[in-house]
Chain A
Amino acid sequence: MENLVQTAMQNVNFAAIMPSLVLACFSMALLLINAFSRRGATAHVAGISLLALVVTGFSALSAWNNPQVGFAGHVVLDNYAVFFTFVFLISAALTVFMSDAYLKREGYPIGEFYSLILFSTVGAMIMASGTDLMTIFLGLEILSVSLYVLAGFFRGSKKSNEAGLKYFLLGAFSTGFLLYGMALIYGVTGTTNLVDIGSHFSLSPQSAMNPVAIAGMMLMATGFLFKIAIAPFHMWAPDVYEGSPTPITAFMSAGPKAAAFAALMRIFLVSLSSMQTTWETAFWVLAVLTMITGNFLALNQQNLKRMLAYSSIAHAGYAMVGLVAANAIGISGVLYYMLAYSFMNIGAFAVLVLIGKKGEENLTLDGIRGFGYKRPLLGVLLTICLFSLMGIPPSAGFSGKFFIFAGALNAGFVWLAILGVLNSAVSLYYYLRIMVAMYFKDPEEDFEWIKLTPGATICIVISVIAVLYMGILPSGIMSLARQALL
């Protein structure tokens, strides 16, 4: 018995989950702090959550180039997980920055908002470092359940209620598919460990052609593709993104999307690489479908949040191209793109947070008329973020797309790369519509509604600096992404 306990303890290795552990403790402490705080006072909670994110970042840093395996191979903190952990931490931190003044303006200064953001970041980190179907599922659920609450956070707003409930029902539905897929894969291979699944399939190639295994793979992919909002599983995204509080929309389109990509890539590249010929074709079609759906449906949107939601679907399609390529450039391109996308998208949303009035009825192409004249600096910052989303050099979006499409070309997917570039060209139209509205239209008479708040301003400035840095000097982050390959 003594021996059993000792072996078990040796297998645990808390270093492998240290970042998630630190962040989870902080978020639980925040819940307590909230309980003893004055109602409506949230500034200190935001400060503590920023501190929590920084401390977590430091605790994750020690695992770079020093992979930690824990819990008998259920969790691993390797470079790949650390890179993604930083993507999540950065998007959470930027979201926290822009939230405080926003929550006050909308009339919901509730501190639990921040602990929920931290909890969902914990879930994302567990997803990225999970090496067992069980761990990945748990991480996904920690992430999703917190996000359901965050999407419906504005209890009194019908839109937010509807967004939360829609996200919840469809999210739970997709979890069912994910789990059924996991069950079938478990039935074929007899294990839930990703590496063991991979070696089972490579040792007996005929089991990789087993229809049950292929059905399991497809069902599992459905679950993740739903979270990433890949067409045809994207229907929820525009509605939920439009109805959720704006900082949460920004966060959802960056952090959780990257988390689902992290888990999807780990499963498909580590466990299901023997089935690559099967999933390659399916993902090829889905990537093209997603790019086309996202870009073409965005063309005619009036509501800015909804337009950015469709654009975020299109961006998931670009990232998917890197996964189809499945070579070193493509996959590291996806890592790079996830980081770049977090910066440029959250930057753009932070501007929306600043220019929205209470209730955000003015976040339409009509509502932002002439704001570029009245607030030139803010206009320029939004323009930089939008240029990066278009993929115009020198911006992070350009280098990200460059790496991904280079990966696709290297792997021989010439048509995929061509379709991707053509789609970027289509996307110019709707991003330019925003710029036309803010620069070439006359502003409203009573234009006095933008008040710069320090948090959101810091968030925008950090994002724009990062976007320009990653666009002008892409090699630094790219070499990190290269070291973070699986």
Chain B
Amino acid sequence: MITITHYMVLSAILFSMGTVGVLTRKNAIVVFMCVELMLNSVNLTFIALSSHLGNMDGQIFVFFIMTVAAAEAAVGLALMIAFFRNSDSIDVEDFSLLKW
């Protein structure tokens, strides 16, 4: 029997994997994929809770998160292309012009 606890633990694990990925990966696109993983783990949390509580709010929230994630992806990839055109790299380590 799969209970709400299973879903919560699974999404917590996915969320932590995303967080660790953002902090450790070097390629900006992979970093962004890790952010998407975090957002999707949140979606999983919302859907599991929504079905557990018998309340639709969580599922509506998921639609908004998916829409926003799509908009963010469009803007983010455009920014990465602009960066790549000027620097020939998409490595997070190359974000080095602005430093104190």
| Chain A residues within 8 Å of chain B by Cβ, number | 44
Whether a CB of chain A sits under 8 angstroms from the CB of B53 is yes
**How many contacts between A and B, using CB within 8 angstroms?**
129
Do B76 and A168 touch (CB < 8 A)? yes
CA distance A173 to B34 in the complex (A): 9
The complex places the Cα of A12 from the Cα of B61 at a distance, in Å, of 18
- A residues in contact with B97, CB < 8 Å: 158-159, 162, 243
Determine if A165 and B64 form an interchain contact, defined as CB atoms under 8 angstroms apart.
Answer: no
Given contact pairs A173-B22, A173-B35, A162 touches B45 in the complex (Cβ within 8 A) = no
In the bound complex, CA of A301 to CA of B53 (Å): 53
Q: Mark A150-180, 1 if CB is under 8 A from B, else 0.
A: 0010011111011111101100110110011
Interface with B: A13-21, A36-44, A84-92, A187-195, which one?
A187-195
Interface residue from A158, A184, A301 paired with B100 (Cβ < 8 Å)? A301
- B64 in contact with A152 (CB, 8 Å): no
- Give the CA-CA distance A357 to B98 in the complex, in Å: 19
**Least Cβ–Cβ distance between A367 and chain B, in angstroms:** 18
CB-CB under 8 A from A137, the residues of chain B are 61, 64-65, 68
Q: Could you tell me the distance in whole angstroms from the C-beta of A27 to the nearest C-beta in chain B?
A: 15
For chain A, residues 168 to 216, give those with C-beta under 8 angstroms from any C-beta of chain B.
Answer: 168-169, 172-173, 175-176, 179-180, 182-184, 186-187, 190-192
The CA-CA distance from A297 to B87 in the complex, in Å, is 29
Band of interface residues on B: 35 or more
Min CB gap B65→A, angstroms = 6
Enumerate 18 A-B pairs (CB-CB under 8 Å) in ascending A order.
Answer: A134-B60, A145-B68, A145-B72, A158-B87, A161-B86, A162-B95, A169-B76, A169-B92, A173-B22, A176-B19, A176-B39, A176-B42, A179-B39, A180-B42, A183-B46, A238-B98, A238-B100, A306-B100
B95 surroundings in chain A (CB, below 8 A)? 162, 165-166
Chain B, residues 87-100, CB within 8 Å of chain A (1/0): the string is: 10000100101111
A239 within 8 A of partner (CB):
yes
Contact B57 A161 (CB under 8 A): no
Classify the secondary structure of A's interface with B: helix
A297 engages B100 (CB within 8 Å)? yes
Q: Note all chain B residues with C-beta closer than 8 A to A157.
A: 86
The complex places the Cα of A330 from the Cα of B72 at a distance, in Å, of 36
Listed from nearest, the 8 A-B pairs whose CB atoms lie closest are: A176-B38, A239-B98, A183-B45, A179-B42, A161-B83, A187-B49, A141-B68, A172-B35
Which residues on the A side are within 8 Å of B80 (C-beta)? 165
Tell me whether A124 is interfacial, beta carbon within 8 Å: no
